[in-house]
């Protein structure tokens, strides 16, 4: 399968914990870019909106990675926040 098809399928068959684990792995290996953080967190947020509190462990895991992200990569974290604010017109 060509790379472009794999890329479109990247998140389609992943659950929220898979995405959180991928974020954590990229963060831990210092390979997380601003664009990857924005894409992964956007996808995770979309999943969490659908869960609406049904999976407490997922929310706890998410809160943990966000805390690490804010402290460990503040510049990239700020980029994500700014991008979200701009996309919402804030």
Nearest to 62 by CA among 83, 80, 47: 47
Amino acid 51: pLDDT: 80
Amino acid 89: pLDDT: 80
Those residues of the chain that have pLDDT short of 70 are 1-12, 53, 90
**R_g over Cα of the chain:** 13
CA atoms within 13 A on the CB side of 15: 4
Tokens of 63: 């809160």
Instruction: List, in order, residues 6 or more apart from 22 with CB less than 8 Å away.
Output: 14, 40
Amino acid 9: pLDDT: 60
Which residue range(s) make up the domain with 57? 3-88
Question: How many folded domains does the chain comprise?
Answer: 1
């Amino acid at each position: 399968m060509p790379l472009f098809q794999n890329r479109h399928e990247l998140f389609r068959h992943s659950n929220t914990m898979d995405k959180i684990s991928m974020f954590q792995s990229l963060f831990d290996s210092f390979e997380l870019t601003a664009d990857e953080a924005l894409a992964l967190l956007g996808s995770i947020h979309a999943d969490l909106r659908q869960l609406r509190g049904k999976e407490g462990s997922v929310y706890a895991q998410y809160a943990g990675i966000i805390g690490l992200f804010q402290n460990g990569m503040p510049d990239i974290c700020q980029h994500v926040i700014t991008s979200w604010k701009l996309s919402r017109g804030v």
